[in-house]
Amino acid sequence: MGSAVRLRTDYSATELRRLARGSKDVRQSSRLLSIAAVLDGMSRADAGRIGGMDRQTLRDWVHRFNAAGPDGLVDHWSSGPPCRLSPEQNAELAAIVERGSDRAVDGVVRWRRIDLKRVIKERFGIDYDTRYVGKLLHKLGFSHMSARPHHPAQDAHIIEAFKKIGSAR
């Protein structure tokens, strides 16, 4: 059986409650209130329930509070791994998507994620999952909506003539 972890003494329970009221982070506030309850003499299990955690989790937060004070009770999320494409490669990929596919060269009428995955692998040597290609496109400012593909035998002059006739009515 382990021994109880001692709390730092430079903060009172009243101070911790004041900090919890002023905090913009709800999780930090609940952790501060749980620690304030411990300082008031409540059992660790009951104090943990105040913050929506068990006794062991409260113990872990007490360690962080002892090391860094109230700022140690804020969640620090990782931004994830860096993008494997350089900014220049991202710009080139955006230009490829913006330009659209050429059926003669690319073999597709419009870009799909699986097609862009193949293009990224061929051009940059980076193999992404198809799902991540969608996330990458979203980061580049593209949505999942795509323009309707044009038929290869479509004549632009006939389309313009049709538009002129249709607007005269």
Full domain range(s) for residue 85: 78-147
| Domain shared by 113 and 58, yes or no | no
| Domain shared by 50 and 109, yes or no | no
| Domain shared by 43 and 85, yes or no | no
Tokens matching residue 83:
């993008």
**Domain annotation covers residue 111:** yes
pLDDT tens, 13-30? 999 999 999 999 999 999
| Domain shared by 88 and 65, yes or no | no
Q: Which pLDDT value is given to residue 97?
A: 93
**Domain annotation covers residue 158:** no
- pLDDT 10s digit of each residue in the chain, 169 long? 456 788 998 999 999 999 999 999 999 999 999 999 999 999 999 999 999 999 999 999 999 999 999 999 999 888 888 889 999 999 999 999 999 888 888 888 889 999 999 999 999 999 999 999 999 999 999 987 766 767 778 888 888 888 877 555 5
Q: Which pLDDT value is given to residue 164?
A: 78
Specify the pTM: 0.54
**Domain annotation covers residue 114:** yes
| Domain shared by 99 and 129, yes or no | yes
Nearest CA among 68, 75, 65 for reference residue 38: 65
**Domain annotation covers residue 8:** no
Q: Which residue has the tokens 């609940």?
A: 30
The neighbour count for residue 78, using CB atoms within 10 Å, is 5
Question: Which sign, positive or negative, has the C-alpha torsion 160, 162, 163, 167?
Answer: positive
**Domain annotation covers residue 53:** yes
**Domain annotation covers residue 153:** no
| Domain shared by 90 and 44, yes or no | no
Domain stop point among 39, 73, 107: 73
Q: Which pLDDT value is given to residue 115?
A: 95
